[in-house]
Structure 1
Amino acid sequence: MAKRKNRAPALRTVFWAVFPFACLVAFWALLRASGLINPGLLPSPGSVLAEFWQRLTQGELLLNIWMSSQRVVLGLILGMLAAIPVSFLIGWYRPLRRFFDPLINFFRALPPIALIPLAIVYLGIGEVAKVAILFYAAFFAAVIVMYEGMMQISPVYVRVARTLGASDFEIFSKVMVPMSVPHMLTALRVALGVAWATLVASELVAAQEGLGAMIQDASSFFDLTTIYLGIICIGALALFMDLILRKISAVAVSWQDKHTG
């Protein structure tokens, strides 16, 4: 009985993780079978699955997944490494905040795809240009989330620390940094989503491998089955990575829940 009770929450979790996608696939199949959309414009779930298996067994799909994943992860890591110190600086020093705030809001509004010609001119058509576009997208997404999160930290903590005689460095390292950890993790998740959303744009830079390149090549031949496969793979990878980050976040900020409780 105890094993069954322990198994029930896990089964519910799996059910609610799978059920929405099962409904989506069922709707997709019904929509195609209904005749409301020309079958030539909407591939069946079965044909996409067959395409997935064919490309997987040939090794092509795994190569594309690997190339896209490493570009996203590298752009995300570099973006976060740059965004964390910038966020603390503009969050801690008001003159810097006044100077950089309009610049950050200006550049974050620019779509990364608009920078592709400049990336090609200055960085060429190699991996550096592709990663640079992903870095750009991840950096500005992360800076905004972390900066806004830091602004929401109650000044009561800072005032209490000053009352107890803490120096600026101690306030920064022992109050601001720990209180900013949840915002860093949120920024990481947001930046991950933005990086995956920018992947196809980054792989416009003469990419031969990658899911974005696969989608672009398929679009040249009006291969909708491969386009659907590429879109599904991007979404599935982004979801998988986000789930990992959510687990890490739950562990990393568990001390706050205990403190609040």
Structure 2
Amino acid sequence: MNKISDKVWILISFVTAIVLWQLISMSEAGVVFASPVEVIEKCIKKIADGTLWLHISYSLFRVIAGFSLAFIASIPVAFLMGWYRPVRGLIEPWIQFVRNIPPLAYIPLIIVGVGVDERSKVTVIFIASFLVLVVTIYQGVRSVDATLIKAAKILGASDRDIFFKVVMPASTPFILVGTRLGLSAALTTLVAAELTGASKGLGMMIQTASGNYDMGTVLLGIIIIGIIGMAMEKFVRFLERRLTGWQETHVQ
């Protein structure tokens, strides 16, 4: 068994999942689970009429915009929390409080505050990603080996040098882990974000199809979101290998 390559195991896993999926669709649960053939037919139909790419493009824009804004905002907040105790004392309790509230709970406030245009959807995704990113990167800053900082001070390094040449490089793996988790949070929040009056997007496609009992389209949307998530995960892992190759181990 140990001689079987990872690629073969992936193929076996994929085939097994398809077989199980087909068997489930043939049982009483078929009311919920459309068959693989039905999902493929829906996919072909939506590609042909151009609606699938439209939904994907809108959802990708919202995820990337919300995550990018969260990433830009989280870096200074996380580093300030980790570097300055007064900032940590002021901000950390609120971060810990807000992160336990599901983004779905913010939707009524966001709709009233910014309306039902693209800003509301991006805001929901921003909140979900920002909280994950801040907590992860902050933990990275706090876990920097104190010996490295003391050694740098003994060698005459200024606070600026310590921050940019010791703390930031040591925190890079945590930033990348936070990126992976933040992207995951953005995708898992996508459907909730598109509750704020969206007319296009994968989440909206799933909700509309569910209302019409179109389970083939529902499963198609779920599968596409999963594929997008896996692609993003692979990309960030690639960056992680390139940017943290100097370390003996990577943060998981």
TM-score for both structures, normalised by structure 2: 0.93
**CA distance in 2: counterparts of 1:52 and 1:139, whole angstroms:** 33
Report how far residue 244 of structure 1 moved.
Answer: 0.9
Give the equivalent residue in structure 2 for 1:221.
Answer: 212
What amino acid sits opposite 1:84 in the alignment? I
Report how far residue 13 of structure 1 moved.
Answer: 4.6
1:203 aligns with 2:194: yes
Q: Secondary structure of the equivalent of 2:153?
A: helix
Give the equivalent residue in structure 1 for 2:14.
Answer: 21
Of residues 227, 230, 237, the one that matches 1:246 is 237
RMSD value, Cα: 1.6
**CA distance in 2: counterparts of 1:65 and 1:59, whole angstroms:** 10
Give the equivalent residue in structure 2 for 1:143.
Answer: 134
Tell me, yes or no, if the aligned pair for 2:33 and 2:219 is still in contact at 8 Å. no
Higher helix share: 1
Q: For structure 1, which segment, 186-195 or 152-161, has the greater mean C-alpha deviation from structure 2 after superposition?
A: 152-161
Per-residue Cα deviation, 1:8-59 (whole angstroms, up to 9, x for no partner): x9x94533444323222211112233x3x24333211111111111111211
TM-score for both structures, normalised by structure 1: 0.90
Report how far residue 220 of structure 1 moved.
Answer: 1.3
Give the equivalent residue in structure 1 for 2:125.
Answer: 134
Tell me, yes or no, if the aligned pair for 2:47 and 2:53 is still in contact at 8 Å. yes
Give the equivalent residue in structure 2 for 1:3.
Answer: none
Give the equivalent residue in structure 2 for 1:57.
Answer: 48
Q: Secondary structure of the equivalent of 2:247?
A: helix
**CA distance in 2: counterparts of 1:18 and 1:156, whole angstroms:** 47
Tell me, yes or no, if the aligned pair for 2:24 and 2:30 is still in contact at 8 Å. no
Gaps (5+ residues) in structure 1?
A: 1-8
Give the equivalent residue in structure 2 for 1:101.
Answer: 92
Report how far residue 149 of structure 1 moved.
Answer: 1.9
Tell me, yes or no, if the aligned pair for 2:66 and 2:129 is still in contact at 8 Å. yes
Report how far residue 180 of structure 1 moved.
Answer: 0.8
Of residues 131, 143, 152, the one that matches 1:152 is 143
Report how far residue 153 of structure 1 moved.
Answer: 1.6
1:83 aligns with 2:74: yes
What amino acid sits opposite 1:178 in the alignment? P
Structure 1 runs (4+) deviating above 6 angstroms are: none
Q: Secondary structure of the equivalent of 1:209?
A: coil
How many residues matched?
Answer: 247
Query: Alignment identity in percent?
Result: 38
- Assess, with a 3 A threshold, how the Cα gap between structure 1 residues 167 and 38 changes in structure 2: closer, same or farther: closer
Q: For structure 1, which segment, 146-155 or 99-108, has the greater mean C-alpha deviation from structure 2 after superposition?
A: 146-155
Report how far residue 229 of structure 1 moved.
Answer: 0.8
Gaps (5+ residues) in structure 2?
A: none
Give the equivalent residue in structure 2 for 1:186.
Answer: 177
Report how far residue 222 of structure 1 moved.
Answer: 1.5
